[in-house]
A and B are shown apart, each in its own frame.
Chain A
Amino acid sequence: MTSVDRTSVATTAAGSDIPRPPRRRRSAGGWLLIALPYAWLIVFFLAPFFIVFKISLSEIAVAIPPYLPTIDLAEGWSNVVDAVGAFSLENYIWLTQDDLYWKSYLSSVKIAATSTLITLIIGYPIAYGMARAPREWRATLLMLVILPFWTSFLIRVYAWIGILKNEGLLNQALLWIGVIDQPLTILNTNIAVYIGIVYSYLPFLVLPLYANLEKLDISLLEAAGDLGCPPWRTFWTITVPLSMPGIIAGCFLVFIPAVGEFVIPDLLGGSDTLMIGKTLWTEFFTNRDWPVSSAVAVILLLILVVPIVLFQNQQQKAMEKSQ
């Protein structure tokens, strides 16, 4: 490090003059700490992804495994070269030819987006209420939000069948009150899917939002009120913009798994409920078409990765701009 005149640096507005912190040598422990998560990602995400990607470039075959070509490293390098030469994009072309696939994707994104919005509308007041509750209650309320995780996800979704079916709890209650005189058909419709997704993913939205809202400085709300801003407008001009990171994090945590959701549309949805998770399942288990289902999975990943990357880029830019 050269000695930098700190006073001159402090008075310069340009950010480029800020002295760099001295470069420190990483210890072996430091390297291990960084290597561990990368190793985890490579073994459990990148390697499986490449296997799936490879299968998506293969051809369906009546064999075990049910696709060709297979790579057997024992047969030498020429085998690998032959296999790579046999790869084709045929399955991806197929996805564009049959409208089932793009309709499934579109429907999944639509169902996931709608559910995310409903979850946000329900979850925001819950998170807000928790963050504003007396401090001694907060731990209990947090516990209550996490409590459903103690029961199997599958059982909880199953329980909704009992609630939503024609002679289920909900219809019986409504009939008894006298709101309706014919049972409502909810089960096996998209409405049931919405209910299922919103119910299952609510905690994933509430938790990051709560963490954000709890940090919100109350004096900012007081300052807004002091400057003549009524409470409802303070909510929209101060609370919502400042909780945006929490809103975005929560929405992604709901939207991403909801797009690929299989259990909920399968158990609660009807035959006309189109979701990519169901299509993938049918392709894989019923048609035993591993290559096409792999292609479906790769495209699904792309559909999800692109908005996430765009979002992160935008966040990064916003951060750089503000510094």
Chain B
Amino acid sequence: MAKKPIGPIRRDFAPWDDPQARPYIEFRNVTKKFGDFTAVDNLSLKIHEREFFALLGGSGCGKTTMMRMLAGFETPNAGEIFLDGQNLAGVPPHRRPVNMMFQSYALFPHMSVEANVAFGLKQEGMPRAEIAGRVEEMLSLVKLQDFAKRKPHQLSGGQRQRVALARSLAKKPKVLLLDEPLGALDRKLREETQFELTDLQQDLGMTFVIVTHDQEEAMTMADRIAVMDKGRIVQIATPSEIYEVPNSRFVADFIGDINLMECKVVARNGEMTKLHAPLFDCAIEVAQSVEAGIGETVWFAIRPEKVRISFDEPEGPANRLTGEVWDIGYLGDVSIYHTHIAEEETVRATVANRSRVVERPMSWEDKVWLSWDRDAGVVLTR
């Protein structure tokens, strides 16, 4: 999993932890319905200035509706949206200081690249000479100076994406909205563009709000991620928190790969909790205090890369399982071992392929031991 590179500028950037900080964009109890379908359900959200914020979720979770309400294309049925202290209710899209990069790019097919980028500036009534300068600046920013006279249909997908980006940046908006900006690009180009976008956002000092269904995209670029499901926000946190400390089974399952085990709480001792997973017949010890009484059902979640797999029996009475290798997924950099425990259940463990030749490789139907540390997994109560 690609992690966001933490540069020197961003290390201390966490305005969301400061209760005094004034949010730049604020959704207050916003609800949006389409007929009987509730797209956004009584949702509140704060986004800070210069933040790179991602709305992440599956299709139909309401993330695009959130963005369209911010841009002014949809009107909330209830609640209010504020931008820099101003209530946006009743402000039409063309008067909002936000610009959007559309998923389809929505480039004007009858205009050249140049005219597309200049379009927003012309609406402002910017003088001709100044427009020419800004267009050149934007096109060199996205490295398309040589394509100024082309029409959109004469460009490749990646080039169109850049034109769309240049066009939405040209007016230097307070907030840039990106709707699945990299969806139509192939993998290599997508990875490149992810880092370019992050750099651009830091250089320009703008607030970016991105809508995506691609968790990797959100993890790589965003300062914070809001995971959405059925019109509600399930968790808002930094990428590493979302990954390492998910607050629910939904988030744990949505982001990355995870093993979930249903457990009963056996004992609670301060920062130490003992669980028992009946289906695996496994005693689990977790270095985490849990808000659940003895005997209650909770879920133990552990990422495959935090599970050790070996032929030798691990020490200690807890946090260990034994089973049979059922399936091996070789991905080049890592291999995923699907291990059958007690016939029915499967636990996945990922092993980095550090050397090219292994003396005694694990194979199908080998008896193996799985184990993990006390702080490797998390206990989820919902």
Residues of A within 8 A of B (CB): 217, 219-220, 222-231, 233, 238, 241-242, 322-323
Instruction: State the CA gap A217–B104 with chains docked (Å).
Output: 10
> Are B104 and A229 closer than 8 Å at their CB atoms?
no
- Which residues on the A side are within 8 Å of B151 (C-beta)? 322
A227 touches B119 (CB 8 A): yes
When the two chains form their complex, are residues B109 and A227 in contact, meaning their CB atoms are under 8 A apart? no
B63 close to chain A: CB less than 8 A: no
- Measured between C-beta atoms, what is the minimum distance from A146 to chain B in Å? 30
Chain B residues contacting A224 (CB-CB under 8 Å) are: 108, 119
What are the residues of chain B within 8 A of A242 when measuring CB–CB? 109-110
The A contact surface, by secondary structure, is helix
B123 at the interface (CB under 8 A from A): yes
Q: Is the CB of B104 within 8 A of A228?
A: no
Question: Provided the pairs A222-B93, A227-B120, A230-B94 are in contact, do residues A217 and B106 lie with their beta carbons within 8 angstroms?
Answer: yes
Give A242's nearest chain B residue, CB to CB: B110
Evaluate contact between B108 and A226: CB separation under 8 angstroms: no
Q: Are A222 and B119 in contact (CB under 8 A)?
A: no
Within 8 A of A (CB), among B144-192: 151, 153-154, 167-168, 171
Known A222-B73, A322-B151; contact A229-B102, beta-carbon cutoff 8 A: no
Give A45 to B120 CA distance when docked, in angstroms. 51
When distances are taken between beta carbons in the complex, the residues of chain B under 8 Å from A322 are: 151, 153-154
- Cβ of A225: which chain B residues have Cβ within 8 Å of it? 72-73, 92-94
> Is B106's CB under 8 angstroms from A229's CB?
no
- Give Cα A117–Cα B73 distance, bound, in whole angstroms: 34
Is the Cβ of A226 less than 8 Å from the Cβ of B110? no
Contact present for B109 and A229 (CB under 8 Å):
no
A228 contact set on B, CB distance < 8 A: 94-95, 120, 123-124, 171
Q: Which 9 A-B pairs have the closest CB atoms?
A: A227-B120, A228-B123, A223-B106, A225-B93, A219-B106, A225-B94, A229-B123, A226-B100, A228-B94
Q: Would you call A227 and B104 a contact (CB within 8 A)? A: no
Tell whether B71 is near chain A: CB-to-CB under 8 Å. yes
- With contact pairs A228-B124, A228-B171, A241-B110 given, residues A219 and B102 touching in the complex (Cβ less than 8 Å): yes
Within 8 A of A (CB), among B77-105: 92-96, 98-100, 102, 104
Q: Determine which residue in A222, A223, A227, A322 has the highest number of CB atoms from chain B within 10 A of its CB, and name it.
A: A227
Known A217-B104, A219-B104, A222-B73; contact A227-B167, beta-carbon cutoff 8 A? yes
B167 to chain A: which residues have CB within 8 Å?
227
Query: Would you list 29 pairs from A and B whose C-beta atoms are within 8 A, ordered by A residue?
Result: A217-B104, A219-B106, A220-B108, A222-B71, A222-B73, A223-B100, A223-B108, A224-B108, A224-B119, A225-B72, A225-B93, A226-B72, A226-B93, A226-B98, A226-B99, A226-B168, A227-B99, A227-B120, A227-B167, A228-B95, A228-B124, A228-B171, A229-B94, A229-B119, A229-B120, A230-B92, A233-B123, A322-B151, A322-B153
Which residues does chain B contribute within 8 Å of A231, judged by CB atoms? 94
Complex: how many Å from CA A226 to CA B167? Answer: 11
Distance, CA A231 to CA B92, complexed state (A): 10
- Give Cα A279 to B248, complex, Å: 85
Shortest distance from the beta carbon of A6 to any chain B beta carbon, whole Å: 15
Please name all residues of chain A whose beta carbon is closer than 8 Å to the beta carbon of B171 when the two chains form the complex: 227-228
Are B106 and A220 in touch, CB under 8 angstroms?
A: yes
Closest Cβ of chain B to A130, distance in Å, is 22
Q: How far is the CB of A11 from chain B (nearest CB, A)?
A: 12
Q: Check B94 against A238 for contact (C-beta < 8 Å).
A: no
Chain B residue numbers with a CB within 8 Å of A227 are 94, 99, 119-120, 123, 167-168, 171
Chain A residues, CB < 8 A from B107: 223
**Which residues of B are found within 8 Å of A323, using beta-carbon distances?**
154
- Whole-angstrom distance between the alpha carbons of A139 and B171 in the complex? 41
CB of A224 to closest CB in B, whole Å: 7
- Chain A residues within 8 Å of B109, by CB: 220, 242
Question: In the complex, what residues of B have CB within 8 A of residue A230's CB?
Answer: 92, 94
**A228 to B125, alpha carbons, bound, how many Å?**
10
Q: In the complex, A217→B107 CA distance in Å?
A: 10
Residues of A within 8 A of B110 (CB): 241-242
Q: How far is the CB of A241 from chain B (nearest CB, A)?
A: 5
A94 CA / B96 CA spacing, docked (Å): 68
**A230 and B93 alpha carbons, distance in the complex (Å):** 9
Most buried by A among B95, B104, B108, B168: B108
**A230 vs B72: C-alpha distance in the bound complex, in angstroms?**
13
In Å, the complex CA distance between A224 and B123 comes to: 9
Closest-CB distance, B98 to chain A (whole angstroms) = 8
- Kindly list chain A residues whose C-beta atoms are within 8 Å of the C-beta of B93: 222, 225-226
Q: What A residues does B71 contact at CB under 8 A?
A: 222, 226
Task: Specify which of A222, A225, A226 lies most central, judged by the most chain B CB atoms within 10 Å of its CB.
Answer: A226
Residues of A within 8 A of B153 (CB): 322
Given contacts A222-B93, A226-B94, A231-B94, 19 further A-B pairs with CB under 8 A are A217-B104, A219-B104, A219-B106, A222-B71, A222-B73, A222-B100, A222-B102, A222-B106, A223-B107, A224-B119, A226-B93, A226-B98, A227-B94, A228-B171, A229-B119, A229-B123, A233-B123, A242-B109, A322-B154
Residues of A close to B154: CB separation below 8 A:
322-323
The answer for the CA separation of A231 and B93 in the assembled complex, in Å, is 10
Residues on B with C-beta less than 8 A from A219 are 102, 104, 106
CA distance A228 to B92 in the complex (A): 9
Distance in angstroms from B268 CB to nearest chain A CB is: 53
Considering only residues 94-144 of chain B, those with a C-beta below 8 Å from chain A are 94-96, 98-100, 102, 104, 106-110, 119-120, 123-124
B107 to chain A, nearest CB (A): 8
